[in-house]
Structure 1
Amino acid sequence: MNHDEAHRHLSASDKRLAQLISHSRRYEIEPNPKVRTFDALAESIAYQQLSGKAAATIWKRVRAIFPKRKFLDPKLVLETPDETLRAAGLSRSKVAALKDLAAKTIDGTVPTARAMTKMTDDEIVERLIQVRGIGRWTVEMLLLFDLGRPDVWPVHDYGVRKGFAKIFGKRKLPTPKQMVKQGQRFAPYRSALAWYCWRALDEMQQG
């Protein structure tokens, strides 16, 4: 992705957005060449509906079940008793989701990171949401932050919607359908737009 071109395109699209870009932390996300789909999604499952600190503690305990392994092995995860994973802090639903992810990684439903380089965003979403506990938002975060896809537009993300409303002076929170329509003019760089929506929300929260 050409970040300079993305910033030029977004800045030229709207003066208010250009002003935010000029003083915010710059969008420079690149694809992570070391990402493994199974590990990234397993961590996402562990983090769901928890604060960052609590989730990090649980995820550390899960990783400790498999010492000396840089990456998780789906086969070993499937063989691990549910009670062992529960003892690490995972809920029953998360254990079920983790094991479904492992099974679908083994049978090829979940593509490898290399395979995904030849797939469209929609194709990746369609495959990964077949996994229990994995929704569109989780896949969009993988596409945006791990795979570095340039045109991810997570219209159901509350922070993106709130930041979008702040940037463009909207009194009401836009609906996902409105976000789809109003975000079209920022393609093909809507990942960067999402980033700056989050930055706008940060500014609101900091006062």
Structure 2
Amino acid sequence: MLDEAIKYLKKSDPVLKELIDTVGSCQLNHIPKQSNLLEEMTRAIISQQISTKAAQAIYQRFLELYTYQETLTLTPEAILDTPEHKLREVGISRPKIRYLQHLATRIIAGFPIIEELSAMDDETVITTLTQVKGVGRWTAQMLLIFRLHRLDVLPIDDLGIRKAIQNLYHLEQLPDKHSLNNLGQKWKPYRSIACWYLWQSLETTIKNNRTKIVN
């Protein structure tokens, strides 16, 4: 499926073709699938509006609160039983603590599990997930792309995607949502794959810039 998607994208967009040739094979579907909905959603909430590096560090400290003898015991009940000061100590803000608690409450009440979400269409998944406080459309779309492996998701609110497009298409300013949506039409039905490459372009740019500085 990925080979077919990449061939299609390279044929439909010369700019994306050059990027794909630079980045190489797509690793999107190589991401492990073992995590459950609670792990995915807590990670997504903790990661909001902070850098990837900071999010990874905080999330790791968060998981350590629920790890005993190398066994993860993260459950919604455990989150609700955790004193707020303990969550604050690992770097989680008060609003995000409220979001985590609300997520835990919803899961206990019978929130859909990953397998049930997998049977839903994209918009139904988004509508379902955004019932949780602090979970917006972008967060739901990240789960669609990275956990449910949906191939045609375009997160038009993603700043990284907009910045990558500005760089690659030599735009004077960041594209607005309408422009991004129009551009994404040529990538259908593989917009998730296109987005993965756009995200990679930001890393490629950083590496290239570092190389120039060193030389």
Displacement of 1:6 after TM fit?
Answer: 0.3
Distance in 2 (alpha carbons) for counterparts of 1:90 and 1:98: 10
1:159–1:61 CA distance, 2 compared to 1 (3 A): closer
1:36 aligns with 36
1:153-168 matches, within 5 Å, as 153-168=154-169
Q: Residue 40 of structure 2 contacts residue 143 of structure 2 at CA under 8 Å; is this kept in 1?
A: yes
2:213 aligns with none
Q: Does 1:79 align with 2:81?
A: yes
1:132–1:170 CA distance, 2 compared to 1 (3 A): same
Q: Give the length in aligned residue pairs.
A: 205
Q: Residue 32 of structure 1 contacts residue 147 of structure 1 at CA under 8 Å; is this kept in 2?
A: no
Q: Which runs of 5+ in 1 are unaligned?
A: none
Distance in 2 (alpha carbons) for counterparts of 1:66 and 1:196: 34
Displacement of 1:71 after TM fit?
Answer: 4.9
Distance in 2 (alpha carbons) for counterparts of 1:185 and 1:52: 29
Displacement of 1:187 after TM fit?
Answer: 0.7
Identity among equivalent positions (%) equals 34
Deviations 1:169-191 (A, max 9, x none): 33332101221122112111001
RMSD of aligned residue pairs (Cα, Å) = 2.0
Kindly provide the amino acid, as one letter, of the partner of residue 9 in structure 1.
Y
What is the TM-score of this pair, normalised by structure 1?
0.89
Kindly provide the amino acid, as one letter, of the partner of residue 114 in structure 2.
A
Q: Residue 28 of structure 2 contacts residue 196 of structure 2 at CA under 8 Å; is this kept in 1?
A: no
Q: Which runs of 4+ in 1 moved over 4 A?
A: none
What is the TM-score of this pair, normalised by structure 2?
0.86
Kindly provide the amino acid, as one letter, of the partner of residue 196 in structure 1.
Y
1:8 aligns with 7
Deviations 1:60-113 (A, max 9, x none): 33222223342511112112222332233222111111100101112234x211
Distance in 2 (alpha carbons) for counterparts of 1:58 and 1:196: 26
Kindly provide the amino acid, as one letter, of the partner of residue 157 in structure 2.
H
| SS of the residue 2:28 aligns to | coil
1:20-169 matches, within 5 Å, as 20-30=19-29, 32-68=32-68, 69-109=71-111, 111-169=112-170
